[in-house]
Structure 1
Amino acid sequence: MGVSGTLEYLSDIMSSAKKGKKRKQLNTVSLKVRMDCEGCQLKVKNALSSLKGVKSVDVDLKQQKVTVTGFVEAKKVLKKAKSTGKKAEPWPYVPYSLIAHPYVAQVYDKKAPPGFVRATDDTAIVTLSTVEEQYTNMFSDENPNACSIM
């Protein structure tokens, strides 16, 4: 059999042992965490860095946003952030360019960072009624019959 046969046999055993174990996927989890000072920022960053599988933790104190990258699950990251005593929730905002009507009452949020609105899955908000659609198109630059004052 020889040395090469033995090495092949051992490598086959090692590779078959790894096949049964699923690898976690690299995830990026964004959270909104209420932080007031740099002490709060450091406390949250240290807590999230201690999670198994975390590669990096980025904290933006101005936007109150924490981004965790690594082989982690969103639920575990959220639970760990809440364990610091801070109010935490999944990042609820999306860029306003992704929403059809970003200034509707249920979507627009005064507390949102600049350029962001609250994410929504409600189809009633995304679609306008025919009357609202007429008012929206009345002053549109693409409409040739729009108001001549513009």
Structure 2
Amino acid sequence: MGALDYLSNFCTVTSTRSKRKAMQTVEIKVKMDCDGCERRVKHAVTSMKGVKTVEVNRKQSRVTVSGYVEPNKVLKRVKSTGKKRAEFWPYIDQHLVRYPYASGVYDWRAPKGYVRNVVQAFPASINAPEENMVTLFSDDNVNACSIM
């Protein structure tokens, strides 16, 4: 043990600062009609502290922000531009959902290939009864059924 290690045991510095925010991606749905709306939203979010990248997709009405930011602050900043109906991105890819046409999942306002992210779209458990019946007579697993 060196002298510096020995002395460092006596001198402990505690920081009053909080840890740095985690890097995250925030997706927001906001209706943008023209280039001015798009520019105003992009400028408002870009000027925030901790923002690394901002992607605006006017066709999907989607703003994607990456950086060391809090999601609620990003949403609040977007709403401050006059877009009061802004909300977190409520959609997920359609191929990730087991039941895309369940009630409340399919949304005609969703962009192509997306459905609403709700609990009903996913099965209650991994070993659901109907899933067990389907895999019982599977062509992929030849030894699944002893009758065949």
What does 1:88-127 align with in structure 2 at a 5 Å threshold? 88-122=86-120, 126-127=122-123
| 2:21 match | 24
> Do structure 1's residue 70 and structure 2's residue 67 form an aligned pair?
yes
Report how far residue 17 of structure 1 moved: 5.3
Q: Which moved more, 1:49-58 or 1:16-25?
A: 16-25
For residues 50 and 69 of structure 2, the distance between their equivalents in structure 1, rounded to whole angstroms, comes to 6
RMSD: 2.7
The answer for unaligned runs of 5 or more in structure 2 is 125-129, 140-148
Secondary structure at the counterpart of residue 63 of structure 2: strand
Report how far residue 21 of structure 1 moved: 3.2
For residues 54 and 127 of structure 1, the distance between their equivalents in structure 2, rounded to whole angstroms, comes to 36
For residues 23 and 53 of structure 1, the distance between their equivalents in structure 2, rounded to whole angstroms, comes to 10
Q: Of Structure 1 and Structure 2, which has the larger fraction of its residues in helix?
A: 1
For residues 49 and 14 of structure 2, the distance between their equivalents in structure 1, rounded to whole angstroms, comes to 22
Aligned pairs, number:
120
For residues 18 and 54 of structure 1, the distance between their equivalents in structure 2, rounded to whole angstroms, comes to 24
| 2:37 match | 40
For residues 25 and 41 of structure 1, the distance between their equivalents in structure 2, rounded to whole angstroms, comes to 27
The answer for unaligned runs of 5 or more in structure 1 is 143-150
**Paired residue type of 2:118:** T
Secondary structure at the counterpart of residue 119 of structure 2: coil
For residues 57 and 74 of structure 1, the distance between their equivalents in structure 2, rounded to whole angstroms, comes to 13
Secondary structure at the counterpart of residue 44 of structure 1: helix
CA change 1:126–1:43 in 2 (3 A) is: same
**Paired residue type of 2:38:** Q
For residues 127 and 20 of structure 1, the distance between their equivalents in structure 2, rounded to whole angstroms, comes to 43
| 1:146 match | none
Identity fraction in percent? 47
For residues 89 and 105 of structure 1, the distance between their equivalents in structure 2, rounded to whole angstroms, comes to 21
- Deviation track 1:108-144 (CA, whole Å, cap 9, x = no partner) reads 011111110000024xx5459xxxx6xxx8xxx97xx
